[in-house]
Structure 1
Amino acid sequence: METKELRELVKEKRKALKLTQEDLAAKAGVGLRFIRELEQGKATLQMDKVNQVLFLFGYQLGPVPLNRNK
């Protein structure tokens, strides 16, 4: 499975559903600025808000091993 950055995943899923950033923000219950920062790869974001967005696409944040060979 290809590894994607969170920002890429969100942008890809949003576009596949033909949603604008404004639409996604409204559906997820977060601000437009948050969506923009998420898609730009801001390093510090609130996990609960990220999960609100990911939930719309059937995802959630979770632990990922640093060494994926294990």
Structure 2
Amino acid sequence: MDDTTFAECIKNERKNAGLTQKEFALKSGLGIRFIRDLEQGKESLRLDKVNQALAMFGYRAAPVRSSQ
């Protein structure tokens, strides 16, 4: 995902799959409110749910060193 945020990645992948937020929520087993919050970049989200959303497109959250 390089410098792409979770929000951008999820939104792009969802759109590429031709899914609405509601369809994505149903397919992933997540709530529509969570999907909206995720795509809007809310900073305090449960990591297990973020990974559940990312897994739909073959991703997972992992520790990455910052480029400082």
TM-score of the two chains, using structure 2 as the length reference: 0.93
Identity %: 49
* Deviation at residue 57 of structure 1 after TM alignment: 0.2
Instruction: Give the 4+ runs in structure 1 shifted more than 3 A.
Output: none
Count of matched residue positions in the alignment of Structure 1 and Structure 2: 68
Work out whether 1:66 is the aligned partner of 2:66: yes
Aligned mates of 2:7, 2:41 — CA distance in 1: 5
List alignment gaps of at least 5 residues for structure 2: none
Aligned mates of 2:21, 2:38 — CA distance in 1: 10
- Greater Cα radius of gyration, structure 1 or 2: 1
Q: Deviation per CA, 1:26-67, whole angstroms, max 9, x where unpaired?
A: 111110000000000000000111111100100001001012
Q: Deviation per CA, 1:5-34, whole angstroms, max 9, x where unpaired?
A: 110000000000000000111111110000
TM-score of the two chains, using structure 1 as the length reference: 0.90
Matches within 5 A, 1:1-70: 2-67=2-67
List alignment gaps of at least 5 residues for structure 1: none
